[in-house]
Chain A
Amino acid sequence: MSLKQYKNAKLILEDGSEFTACSFGYEKSVAGEIVFNTAMTGYPESLTDPSYRGQILVLTYPLVGNYGVPGKSMADDMLEHFESEHIHTTALIISDYSSTYNHWNASKSLGDWLKEEKIPGLFGIDTRKLTKIIREKGAMLAKIIFDDDIPFHDPNKVNLVNEVSIKEKKIYGNGKHKVLLIDCGVKSNIIRYLLRFDTTVIRVPWDYDYTNDDYDGLFISNGPGDPTICTPTIKHLKTSIADDKPIFGICLGHQLTALAAGAKTYKLKFGHRSHNQPVLEVGTNKAYLSSQNHGFAVDNKSIPDSWLIYFQNLNDDSNEGLKHSSKPIFTTQFHPEASSGPTDTAFLFGDFIKAIETWKK
């Protein structure tokens, strides 16, 4: 942080708490839901994760911007170093900003990128104090005010999935296994993982009726907001789980599958957003570190017969995954595709492909 003057802005929470901070991003007043993430790396990935749509993201790790922002090189028809085309968070809040950055792969500073994407960024806030407020009172609405005051805005009331989902079908790769991917706000790394195998990924909009399409396995992606809003998707999934093709769902995809199976979801007090969520494969001694980003969860008590708890959270026992007792269907609340975060559970993509191979036989 050099001595040059940064414009001041205010962060106001629904509970009345106020913070004054310096702006290093785009200067406009915004409102959304405020959430925190305790990851220590991966801000370019987090900011472009569509699941953060509508949220003001607080990073608890204080030093941010250190390695700048990578360039926009393409691979497999996707931006190589990001999780989607654009930043999805409503704003970013940190403690200590590195205006100068250094990395061989960087093309610009975090501040310049935020400005380019018209996303506000604030630094100089006691992010630990802020995190404790969110932890104690739960995720809440917040707004960043520059010059003009604006009202609070609850993103969970709108259909965020519709905002982030692809508008038209898009095809990646040309492999022998056809994976139909329901895009509720998919992270690019999921597609990258699927393409590591001999697959063709058919990415379709969240409400697209694929039930009569030709595919070998169904994948339901992550995405933002309250799963109960995605009624068309749930409807399609009901048909799919009655079928016997392999299904793999992640995060929102896991919740949607659970809803389709008849389970219930609820909103967590402040969600799981970190790289260090411990999950246990139920009935084994196998524990994995996982990357997570969700505010809603599947209620363990509501899980219907013929479904089993696949994984559970070691800290709060919340549901981390489901599998069908007889069909090749499994889902995880956490993110096996990581990016950002630990890659311990990437083997699940392999399991999915194996299930497809078995099904084909």
Chain B
Amino acid sequence: MEEINKVLVLGSGALKIGEAGEFDYSGSQALKALKEEGLTTVLVNPNIATVQTSEEIADKIYFLPVTPYFVERIIQKEKPQGILLAFGGQTALNCGMALFENGILEKYNIQVLGTSVEAIMETEDRERFADKLRSINVKTPKSVAVTNIGDALNAAKKVDYPVIVRAAFTLGGQGSGFCSNNEELEKLASKAFSYSEQILVEESLKGWKEVEYEVVRDKYDNCITVCNMENFDPLGIHTGESIVVAPSQTLTNREYHKLRKLSIDIVKSIGIVGECNVQYALDPFSEDYRVIEVNARLSRSSALASKATGYPLAFVAAKLALGYGLHELKNSVTKTTTAFFEPALDYLVVKIPRWDLNKFMGVSEEIGSSMKSVGEIMAIGRSFEEAIQKGLRMVGLGMHGFVGNKDLIIEDIEYELNNPTDKRIFVIASAFKKGYSVEDVYQLTKIDRWFLEKLWNIIETEDELVKYNDFNSIPDGFLWHAKKQGFSDFQIARLVLNNHEIGATDKEIIQIRNHRKSRNILPSVKQIDTLAAEHPAVTNYLYLTYHGEEHDIVFEKDNRSVIVLGSGAYRIGSSVEFDWSCVNALQTIKKKNYRSIMINYNPETVSTDYDICDRLYFDELSFERVMDISDLEVPYGVIVSTGGQIPNSLAMRLYRQDVHILGTSPNFIDRAENRHKFSDMLDKIGVDQPEWKELSSIEDIFEFTEKVGFPVLIRPSYVLSGAAMNVVSNKEELEHFLNLATQVSKQYPVVVSKFLMDAKEIEMDAVADKGDIIVYAISEHIEFAGVHSGDATIMFPPQKVYVETLRRIKKISRKIAQELQISGPFNIQFLAKDNDIKVIECNLRASRSFPFVSKVLKTNFIDYATRIMLGEKVEKPNKTLFDIDHIGVKASQFSFSRLSMADPVLGVDMASTGEVGCIGDDYYEAILKAMISVGYRIPEKNILISSGPMRSKTELLESGRILIDNGYNIFGTKGTCDFYKKNGILATMVHWPDVNKKPNAYDMLKKKEFDLVINIPKDLSQNELNNDYIIRRAAVDFNIPLITNARLASAFIYAISRYKKEELTVKSWDEY
């Protein structure tokens, strides 16, 4: 074995459904483990918002696509001796397997550290793997691998309906599903074949328990299972869609250890070196089982297992890859005991997925065998009731726990129990309220009665609570009982006072809080120490519970600690970028000799890692819990501006209770957050904004649109279905939207604002000190206004903005910073048309683009912000965006392929699940790298264009010429073709999907005859459930790159005409 000095680590790229922040955590830990060994590390990951792509974590960072082509070029340049494939999800694994199969690893003499590629490939090919398991007498589901639809139908005959279809080599179950007849199978199989050449038709084990083990093995064949987990939902619901508990709750010792032993046998026979997870189906009526999946890499579950147990799986896996034995490593929590052990928990955790399905048009809310959730939370408690109620609050969808919520409108309870949706748990609550028994619900859901009984206990307590009319009359014992079941003060107040308006102010919540304090009914802080208190541990990993009489730690209360509030569950609009901001704030706090305290509950994050802060409270970011912790810690202050919107909206409430909020005063935060106050302020300081009004009747809305003219942007406060915001272009659309999608009343007013067409959107990210701007970055959207800033493609520094516009933007920003006395991070969004500037939004917190601009400018905005918030007087850096010679482009990652039926168009509401940021020597290079990083491919030959309305037809005219000049074939739908022909551009006409003539767009999509589809929606209403929708959806379903914005399409076409793939430079971050 050649000596290894330099190791290449593959990241997972942009966050997407099925592959999210957990790989930032696992990659970061692996890099730390390598660094500790004195190795040089090279990281490839275009996800610029991650913590792992920060200075001091890897030695060299490439913001380039994780594809064999780019990785080979990096290998040529860096000449590493080793490579790690297991820490960047399926993306890294697939890339690694391709590098192996293409002979690249051999060519450059690179050793795969950890599990061998051959072993990984064996686990990825389901048929080979099933054979292997059979050879060691391990059961797998009856299953037939097929490569065409005819064989699939035959296989179903053998296996018997219902069957499950699974596609090999895909992320988290893409293209998978249940079928109960030939027709359904035919439909699903044809889709699955577009992702994978091979699919499996398997026996359905619906209703079986689903159990998972996280296994670690070293090169000496020593093996442990770090954690087992049990799904609350029975088999049939993807584990990423399921509520999961750890450890298992309903398994006897025999079942637990039978499956544990099998896991070890499997892992030993594969020859894993590092981490592996094994998923089982377990018969609820016997000890029969099937192995349903094995992942020979770090996974979402392993990240969860790490956080659930405190065992640093990724860190240990990296050390094992370097050749250590488990018994040679220490348990990094206790520091004295060995890493060869299985954690003993004295609590349980509950993981709950977070869905954002209402962000998408047309998507089904039913959950099943493929993953749709965009994030997850982990709740820790010492009873199931406590953990699940905490967790339901943490998910952040306005729920207060299992009960005490606003009433759900459920049309058919039995149907919904039988066909679970993203709201399944609340449907269970409603069913119980309507008189369904545990047994009834069990029959309809097959959820283990044990879980249902525990939920029933919560209902019983609710029924008892409503019998009281004031807090003083609740017996202490019963109040304890409710708190032990995870009831929040809010829930108790609402149930006791029977008042659904609670929450408008904190009056009642403070009342019950004070009552509790006077009765000494308080939570205890407990440590997660991996050994259930058997050995003393100096762990800083904490949670709060009411099942306790004493705290495990001593509180200094010396005003030398700073609490950072995290960002909670990843969701559309808030993800890894806020984790980066929080981690950077923690680092600066430490450097400035304060003790850093983190509160967060997202198991996919680095901010919840055991070694990132002095104390980690893995607990709720609710007013109640933050107050609990603040009361105990008595910190110097609390930072609310690095964790996105959740902490930001707590600022005022904490401030009113005399919690010291660091940075901008909450009074000013409120002034920016409150639409009316902010608008008045802009008027006062003479800053322009789009005309807007809050209206509560349809007549008023018509009157207003009459006055300002169409189009207008509508923001309802109550949403019936579909996206919350919309742009409407005429009265007809307006009526349609108001009738269908929303409700207008005094209680639910609608905000209507003038929408500017063809306006540029420009962002200011900055940090100020008492109103004086210290650092700033101005970036420009490629798309015109109308595409949410989280979905837009953003360039920094701006390339196509008038100098005068920039000057005005700086001037306005200064005025706003001054007026709001900003101390800390902020972001302002502007509209610019000609040199006319309007402010559309202002947030007095770090924004999504902070890591992007910080890394492109190489100026850490969060470090500046944190120092300012700690009261330090900082110097302005002597570098601005005008001093850099490179360009960064941030592009968005969409996960439409996961969201069956969703219309893949962009609108004013955000739909992307992740992003990348790439750097180039010029704009076109950067955009091309960024777009390849989010899955676009440089087209070979054929491009299908439907260019939409006249404005975008014109926008795409020059692009059409460029494509022809570069030898591409353009196919167009009728209008596009006519337009191109009129302008002398050759295009082949294809018929719309609903026209029964050839050539037909849909047929050609199905046959994958296009390399790129450009489909521009005709209007902004998003209600195009017609031909265009079919084309867009087919592009997504058949995995053909799709662009739906004319500005982005033309930027991409310009870029591919200027750069060939080989001309893209391979430069690491430090070379810019």
Contact of A275 among B285, B344, B449, B524 (CB under 8 A): B344
Contact partners of B699 in chain A: CB under 8 A:
none
Interface members, chain A 69-94 (any B CB < 8 Å): 70
> Top 8 A-B pairs ranked by shortest CB distance?
A42-B253, A38-B344, A60-B532, A38-B532, A285-B220, A340-B253, A102-B449, A126-B549
Say which residue of A38, A62, A286 sits within 8 Å of B220 (CB atoms).
Answer: A286
Beta-carbon contact of A129 and B550 below 8 Å: yes
Q: Is the CB of B450 within 8 A of A96?
A: no
Q: How far is the CB of A50 from chain B (nearest CB, A)?
A: 17
Q: B-facing mask of A193-231, CB < 8 A → 1, else 0?
A: 000000000000000000000000000000000000000
The residue in chain A whose Cβ has the minimal distance to the Cβ of B548 is: A126
Q: Residue on A with the closest CB to B386?
A: A96
Q: Are A2 and B257 within 8 A (Cβ)?
A: no
Q: Which of B241-274 contact A (CB under 8 A)?
A: 247-253, 256-257, 260-261, 264
A67 to B255, CA, bound (A): 11
Does A280 lie at the interface of the complex (its beta carbon under 8 Å from any beta carbon of B)?
A: yes
Interface residues of B in 720-777 (CB under 8 A from A): none
B369 → A minimal CB distance (Å) = 25
Binding site for B on A (CB under 8 A): 1-3, 19, 36, 38-42, 44-45, 60-63, 66-67, 70, 95-96, 98, 100-105, 126-129, 131-132, 135, 274-278, 280, 285-289, 314-315, 338-344
- Give the docked Cα–Cα distance between A2 and B524 (Å): 23
Which residue in chain A gives the minimum CB-CB distance to B531?
A: A38
A contact patch SS: loop
Interface residues in B448-477 by Cβ distance below 8 A to A read 448-450, 453-454, 457, 460-461, 464
Q: How far is the CA of A342 from the CA of B347 in the complex (A)?
A: 20
Chain B residues with Cβ under 8 A from A70's Cβ?
Answer: 252
Whether A102 and B548, one on each chain, are in contact in the complex, defined by CB atoms closer than 8 angstroms, is: no
Give the docked Cα–Cα distance between A44 and B254 (Å).
11
Q: Is the CB of A278 within 8 A of B253?
A: no
Which of A3, A36, A101 is within 8 Å of B464, CB to CB?
A3
Query: Could you say which residues of chain A place their CB within 8 Å of the CB of B384?
Result: 63
Check B453–A100 contact: CB distance below 8 A: yes
> Do B344 and A40 touch across chains, with their CB atoms under 8 A apart?
yes
Q: Is B157 an interface residue (CB 8 A)?
A: no
Q: Is the CB of A276 within 8 A of B464?
A: no
Contact B285 A104 (CB under 8 A): yes
The chain B residue sitting closest to A339, CB to CB, is: B253
Contact A98 B450 (CB under 8 A): yes
B533 and A128 form a contact (CB under 8 A): yes
B interface residues, how many (CB within 8 angstroms): 60
Beyond known contacts A36-B534, A62-B383, A315-B337: 13 more, CB 8 A cutoff = A2-B460, A38-B344, A38-B346, A40-B247, A41-B252, A42-B252, A62-B347, A96-B383, A103-B252, A129-B549, A275-B342, A278-B337, A287-B340
Partner of A341, one of B248, B257, B457, B526: B257
Q: Whole-angstrom distance between the alpha carbons of A127 and B550 in the complex?
A: 11
Verify B534–A131 contact, CB threshold 8 A.
Answer: yes
Q: Which of B284, B336, B534 gathers the greatest number of chain A CB atoms within 10 Å?
A: B534
Shortest CB-to-CB span from A290 to chain B, Å, is 10
5 residue pairs of the A-B complex, CB under 8 angstroms, read A61-B345, A63-B348, A70-B252, A278-B340, A314-B341
Which of B247, B457, B549 makes the CB contact (< 8 A) with A1? B457
Q: Quick one: which of A128, A280, A342 contacts B327, CB cutoff 8 A?
A: A280
Whole-angstrom CA separation of A98 from B385 in the bound complex: 11
Report the separation of the CA atoms of residues A237 and B828 in the bound assembly, to the nearest whole angstrom: 84
Interchain CA distance A341-B257 in the complex, whole Å: 7
User: Is there an interface contact between A126 and B550, defined as CB atoms closer than 8 Å?
Assistant: yes
- Chain B residues contacting A45 (CB-CB under 8 Å) are 253
Binary CB contact string for chain B from 377 to 407 against chain A (1 if under 8 A, 0 otherwise)? 0000011100000000000000000000000
In whole angstroms, what is the CA distance A45 to B261 when docked? 18
CA distance A341 to B533 in the complex (A): 19
**Complexed CA–CA distance, A200 and B226 (Å):** 38
Q: Give the CA-CA distance A56 to B526 in the complex, in Å.
A: 24
Q: Which residues of B come within 8 Å of A, CB atoms?
A: 220-222, 224, 247-253, 256-257, 260-261, 264, 284-286, 325-327, 336-338, 340-348, 382-384, 448-450, 453-454, 457, 460-461, 464, 481, 524, 526, 531-536, 547-550, 552
Residue in B closest to A277 when the chains form the complex, CB atoms: B341
- Smallest Cβ-Cβ distance to B224: which chain A residue: A289
CB of B526 within 8 A of CB of A128, answer yes
Evaluate contact between B257 and A338: CB separation under 8 angstroms. yes
- Chain A contacts for B347, CB-based, 8 A: 62
Q: A276 to B336: give the CA distance in the assembly, Å.
A: 15
Q: How far apart are the CA atoms of A304 and B792 in the complex, in Å?
A: 77
Q: Give chain A nearest CB distance to B325 CB in angstroms.
A: 5
Tell me which residues across on chain B come within 8 A of A36, comparing CB atoms: 534
Quick check: A102 and B343 within 8 Å, CB to CB?
A: no
Do residues B344 and A39 form an inter-chain contact, with CB atoms below 8 A? yes
On whether the beta carbons of A41 and B251 are closer than 8 Å, the reply is: yes
Min Cβ gap A8→B in Å is: 10
Q: How far is A135 from B337 in the complex, measured between Cα atoms in Å? A: 15
User: B325 touching A287 by the CB < 8 A rule?
Assistant: yes
Complex contacts, B547 vs chain A, CB 8 Å: 62, 95-96, 126
Q: Which residue of A lies closest to B478 (CB)?
A: A3
Partner of A61, one of B286, B461, B532: B532
Nearest CB of chain A from residue B1056's CB, rounded to whole Å: 55
Q: Find out whether the CB atom of B461 lies under 8 angstroms from the CB atom of A126.
A: no
Q: How far is the CA of A66 from the CA of B383 in the complex (A)?
A: 12
Residues in chain B near residue A104, CB distance under 8 A: 284-286
Residues of B within 8 A of A286 (CB): 220-222
The smallest beta-carbon distance between A346 and chain B, in angstroms, is 9
Q: Is the CB of B481 within 8 A of A3?
A: yes
With A60-B344, A102-B448, A102-B453: A126-B250 Cβ-Cβ less than 8 Å: no
For B260, list chain A residues within 8 Å (CB). 342
Nearest Cβ distance between residue A293 and chain B, in whole angstroms?
13
Min Cβ gap B949→A in Å is: 60
Q: Which residues of A contact B552 (CB under 8 A)?
A: 128, 132
Across the interface, which residues of A come within 8 angstroms of B448, CB to CB?
Answer: 102
Question: Which residues of chain B come closer than 8 Å to A105, judged between CB atoms?
Answer: 252
In this complex, what residue of B is CB-closest to A96? Answer: B383
How many Å from the CB of A255 to the closest CB on chain B?
Answer: 21
Contact of B327 with A278 in the complex, beta carbons under 8 Å: yes
In angstroms, Cα B1052 to Cα A169, docked, is 87
Q: How far is the CB of A137 from chain B (nearest CB, A)?
A: 13
Considering residues B448, B450, B457, B552, which has the most beta carbons from chain A within 10 angstroms of its beta carbon? B450
CA distance A40 to B336 in the complex (A): 22
Closest to B383 in A: A96
Query: A314 to B338, Cβ gap below 8 A?
Result: yes
Complex: how many Å from CA A205 to CA B348? 42
A135 touches B342 (CB 8 A): no
B6 to chain A: closest CB distance in Å? 28
A285 vs B247: C-alpha distance in the bound complex, in angstroms?
A: 29
Contact indicator A126/B524 (Cβ below 8 Å): yes
Which residues on B sit within 8 Å (CB–CB) of A95?
A: 382-383, 547
Cα A53 to Cα B249 in complex, Å, equals 27
Docked CA distance A42–B552 (Å): 27
Q: In the complex, A285 Cα to B454 Cα: how many Å?
A: 45
A27 CA to B759 CA, complexed, in Å:
78
Name the A residues within 8 Å of B454 (CB-CB).
Answer: 98
Q: Is the CB of B526 within 8 A of A289?
A: no
| Cβ contacts under 8 Å, B249 to chain A | 63, 66
B383:A63 contact, CB within 8 angstroms: yes
Residues A61 and B261 in contact, CB atoms below 8 Å apart: no
A residues less than 8 Å from B341 (CB atoms) = 276-278, 289, 314-315
Q: Min CB distance, A66 to chain B, in Å?
A: 5
Contacts of B252 in A (CB 8 A): 41-42, 44, 67, 70, 103, 105
Minimum CB–CB distance for B607 against chain A, Å: 26
Report the separation of the CA atoms of residues A289 and B344 in the bound assembly, to the nearest whole angstrom: 12
Chain A residues, CB < 8 A from B338: 278, 287, 314-315
Known: A60-B346, A129-B549. Contact between A41 and B250, CB under 8 A?
Answer: no
Query: B346 to A102, Cβ gap below 8 A?
Result: no
Chain A residues within an 8 Å CB radius of B344: 38-40, 60-61, 274-276
Residues of A contacting B348 in the complex (Cβ-Cβ under 8 angstroms)? 62-63
